[in-house]
Structure 1
Amino acid sequence: MLTEILAHSSHYELLQFSSRGPWSCQRGKPSQFIGGSFSEVRVAQHRRTLKLVAVKCIRKRALKGKEAMLENEIAVLRRINHPNIVALEETFETSTKLYLVMTLVTGGELLDRILEKGSYTERDASRVIQQLLEAVQYLHQLGIVHRDLKPENLLYQTPSEDSKIVISDFGLSKMEEQGMLTTACGTPAYVAPELLQQKSYGKEVDLWALGVITYILLCGYPPFYDESESHMYRQIMKAEYEFDSPYWDEISNSAKDFIPHMLQKEPEERYNCEQALKHLWISGGAALEKNIHGSVSKQIQKNFAKSQWKRAFNATMVVRHLSKKNLVVEEESKDKAKTKATL
């Protein structure tokens, strides 16, 4: 319970003499942004201010082997202060547990919210992507790469209609301070080509993921998918996708222009956040106001079963699998051939 750890926080020094402590805790439904196999989430209320927060209670015994990952997540969260990013407010620990006090987010996941709406337009999608671009731009300015942007990690702050969207789950985030990143990680359908090709990579992988998310928000299904994961990875490495009829027939040309800038195979040709924010679909009023809720929600229900899309990405296994099928070598050989042909 949080009462046992108050003595470890100078911030709560004046409150530690309360027999019950300043926080009133109860078990809460685990939230995606702070859930996990080695922790539980509780809703807590500060006894003096009555402020509600989410508290991630982590068993240290179950952390063995994952300490560095958690330390990295905490270090990243401590550097962040942005309205569209879930905030870490406090950390406490005892001999057996570590407690992370986080902003309480109650509005639910992005795709679930779309399903609940009676009306949903391109403009709604554009507003979401604009908020995410502003948040990711902030992260990149700090040298932070999220590396796991996906709909499940995008939450509404409150249930209200005008609630802002927030980015959560920084378990795979990394600082770029020590140069280009090399560790393969993420969620299969959202990973960028350079990551699958075992190349060093940087913040461009977040823009690719936002491109995938934009595509999903406009049609309800992902740009890259196949029953065979190796075929899906081949699609990703080629940046091979379509604006299928009839699902894209009512979507604006501006949206169809925006997405290819985000899903550029070569990271140096991909939009950065500043470029994306200046696109007419984001800031120029080009996003249509036509209701597309019926078609999009139907496809979301069909294509985003929880068990299907919440698989962990074992990068080492995937790269080994791709190498066995010569997919990585094949794509790199084609790239070299194209380069020679243009010389």
Structure 2
Amino acid sequence: MSPSSSSSPYCYKKGSYTVDDLEETERRKRTLSSSSLSWTSSRSFSQGYRSSSSAPSSSPSFSSMSWTSSSSSYSHSSDSSGVHLALLEMAKKNFTSSYKKAILDDVYVQQEPLGKGGCGTVFGGYRRADSLPVAIKYIPKEKVTYTEVTVDGNLLRIPTEVLLQRIVAGASVGESAAVTLLDWVDLGQQVVLVLERPVPSMDLFDYIMERGGSLPEHEAKSIVEQLVDALIEFHQKGVVHRDIKLENIILQTGSQVPVVRVIDFGCSCAQTDEEYTDMAGTFDYFPPEFFGEGSYRAVPYSVWQLGVVMYTMLFGCFPFNPFDDITPQEPQMNNEQLSQCGQAFLKNCLVKDPVSRATLPDLLFHPWIHL
């Protein structure tokens, strides 16, 4: 079923529902305030699908690397072997103008633009030394959040996206579901990230469009299973992505079964057990608890986003219209497109009550995954 022919009144279009400027944010607030939802002006909202603050109220400590945002800290156990040293070396290099020039002129070759959005512009390219394909992402300085990091006694100010993506993906290409951050450069007016670029690949939106607007159940299940594994990996490393959506899921298509990779950690934050009140991500994927209570927790939010992705893969449209009160809405499912076991899995992801919503381990061991 293609988005244009779906019976649902709320079908997706690439990039059209991303909150990417303040005017659109205010318009959506007005739309929601006129409905039965409760929304106060004091609630923060992401601008340019980027968090307006660094991390939420807490931040983690990784081995000899500690980092803070605002005045509080959060302790998290993680294997940080090599991560803090790599960050230290990358940060030190950013204080030298010669390195900044070399990283763009001598180490990498920039080629055609790949895309442009609220977060900046992305170009294709490759690393001169070994022809490794890369993506070069330019982020305007006003859209960059920073975190102060103490590494082996050195106080550094590092872009939060850089810090969290390096923690999740490490330094070795292809070892994580997250694409690897290879380098970053602070040019004053903008920050440049150099990232691994899987080839051949395409984002999940384009992959679905090439197949007529929806995927068969067996193919969607393979992608969902890999996404569950990826989210578990991120959370175990103390990072919440917060913007899992079709455009941020890359499929490596060089094998018989596409391999899932995740990009864009611009909305990510440190995982805590506390509630978050700052909303970062894409409007269509916001969970009902944020609209109702103005807050959410890490795992239920991730599971909700996974459910929205799964639904759009199978049915070619979003399960809910977030401009209306989604509390009484129930997603329509077609028995011909999704088995009863698959429907049970999907419904567990889209439970309105976050306390009753499935956890990631629940999904990992669900019968549908193992059929």
Alignment pair present for 1:75 and 2:163 = yes
Question: How much does 1:154 deviate?
Answer: 1.2
Contact 2:141 2:190 in 1 (8 A): no
Query: Which of 141, 163, 166 does residue 261 from structure 2 map onto?
Result: 166
Q: The residue matched to 1:268 in structure 2 has which SS?
A: coil
Q: The residue matched to 1:111 in structure 2 has which SS?
A: helix
Question: How much does 1:180 deviate?
Answer: 2.2
**Structure 2: distance between partners of 1:186 and 1:17:** 33
Query: Which of 347, 350, 358 does residue 263 from structure 1 map onto?
Result: 350
**Structure 2: distance between partners of 1:249 and 1:273:** 27
Contact 1:184 1:198 in 2 (8 A): no
**Structure 1: distance between partners of 2:340 and 2:287:** 24
- Give me the TM-score of the superposition, normalised by structure 1: 0.66
**Which one has a larger percent strand, Structure 1 or Structure 2?**
2
**Structure 2: distance between partners of 1:67 and 1:250:** 42
Query: Which of 139, 146, 155 does residue 241 from structure 2 map onto?
Result: 146
Contact 2:141 2:191 in 1 (8 A): no
Unaligned residue ranges in structure 1 (runs of 5+): 286-343
Contact 1:38 1:63 in 2 (8 A): no
Question: How much does 1:64 deviate?
Answer: 2.7
Contact 1:207 1:262 in 2 (8 A): yes
Alignment pair present for 1:242 and 2:337 = no
| Equivalent residue number for residue 84 of structure 1 | 177
Query: Which of 281, 286, 309 does residue 368 from structure 2 map onto?
Result: 281
Question: How much does 1:150 deviate?
Answer: 1.4
Q: The residue matched to 1:108 in structure 2 has which SS?
A: strand
**Structure 1: distance between partners of 2:251 and 2:316:** 18
| Equivalent residue number for residue 133 of structure 2 | 52
Point out the more displaced range, 173-182 or 72-81.
173-182
1:220-271: CA deviations, max 9, x gaps?
Answer: 122113xxx542xx12x3452232xxx4334211111111111111112111
Question: How much does 1:68 deviate?
Answer: 4.0
| Equivalent residue number for residue 129 of structure 1 | 224
Unaligned residue ranges in structure 2 (runs of 5+): 1-89, 148-157, 170-174
Q: The residue matched to 2:137 in structure 1 has which SS?
A: strand
Q: In the superposition, relative to structure 1, how do residues 54 and 260 fare at CA in structure 2: closer, same or farther (>3 Å)?
A: same
The within-5 A match list for 1:1-343 is 8=93, 21-30=106-115, 35-37=116-118, 39-58=120-139, 62-64=140-142, 66-68=144-146, 71-81=159-169, 83-106=176-199, 107-117=201-211, 120-158=215-253, 160-177=255-272, 179-203=274-298, 204-225=300-321, 230-231=323-324, 234-235=325-326, 237-238=327-328, 240-243=330-333, 247-283=334-370, 285=371
**Structure 1: distance between partners of 2:118 and 2:337:** 42
**Structure 1: distance between partners of 2:268 and 2:102:** 38
Q: In the superposition, relative to structure 1, how do residues 99 and 158 fare at CA in structure 2: closer, same or farther (>3 Å)?
A: farther
Q: In the superposition, relative to structure 1, how do residues 238 and 173 fare at CA in structure 2: closer, same or farther (>3 Å)?
A: farther
1:166-200: CA deviations, max 9, x gaps?
Answer: 12222211112483211133323221111112343
Question: How much does 1:273 deviate?
Answer: 1.0
- Give me the TM-score of the superposition, normalised by structure 2: 0.62
1:127-153: CA deviations, max 9, x gaps?
Answer: 000000000011111222222211121
Point out the more displaced range, 126-135 or 68-77.
68-77
**Structure 2: distance between partners of 1:217 and 1:27:** 29
**Structure 2: distance between partners of 1:120 and 1:53:** 29
Equivalent position amino acid for 1:114 in 2? I
Contact 1:239 1:265 in 2 (8 A): no
Q: In the superposition, relative to structure 1, how do residues 94 and 125 fare at CA in structure 2: closer, same or farther (>3 Å)?
A: same
Alignment size in residue pairs: 260
Greater RCO structure (CA 8 Å; 6+ sep): 2
Q: The residue matched to 1:129 in structure 2 has which SS?
A: helix
Identity across matched positions, percent: 27
Q: In the superposition, relative to structure 1, how do residues 28 and 267 fare at CA in structure 2: closer, same or farther (>3 Å)?
A: same
RMSD: 3.2
1:104-126: CA deviations, max 9, x gaps?
Answer: 14511213213324895211100
1:71-121: CA deviations, max 9, x gaps?
Answer: 222221121125321221111233454321101145112132133248952
Contact 1:145 1:173 in 2 (8 A): yes
Q: In the superposition, relative to structure 1, how do residues 146 and 160 fare at CA in structure 2: closer, same or farther (>3 Å)?
A: same
Q: The residue matched to 1:57 in structure 2 has which SS?
A: strand
**Structure 1: distance between partners of 2:315 and 2:301:** 22
Q: In the superposition, relative to structure 1, how do residues 197 and 184 fare at CA in structure 2: closer, same or farther (>3 Å)?
A: farther
**Which one has a larger percent helix, Structure 1 or Structure 2?**
1
**Structure 2: distance between partners of 1:258 and 1:181:** 26
Q: The residue matched to 2:311 in structure 1 has which SS?
A: helix
